[in-house]
Amino acid sequence: MSPGRINRCICHNRMFAEIKRYSREHNITSVHELQEIGFCSTNCGLCIPYIKAMLETAETEFIPGNANQTTADAAE
């Protein structure tokens, strides 16, 4: 992980890569579905925009405060 990058749901201590893998294995396509089963995003909610972006883009690291900008975007 790059310093200062967002890459996990801190309340559940789950890396976005783990959430992505689980979502694919169980055909989950929304944060709401993940919340319903208590997998992530059920406490503070700070990760919600990043998990939404992860589900849309498959990226697992983001620039703090900007779920639309991934670490790959920042490297360009």
Domain range list for the chain: 8-75
Which residue type does 14 have? R
- What residues contact 41, with CB distance under 8 A and at least 6 apart? 9, 11, 12, 31, 34, 35, 47, 48, 51
Query: 29 versus 65: which is more confidently predicted?
Result: 29
pLDDT band at 73 (very low <50, low <70, confident <90, very high): low
> Within the chain, what is the greatest distance between any pair of CA atoms?
37
Per-residue pLDDT reduced to its tens digit, 11-54 = 999 999 999 999 999 999 999 999 999 999 999 999 999 999 99
What is the Cα–Cα distance from 5 to 45, expressed in whole angstroms?
17
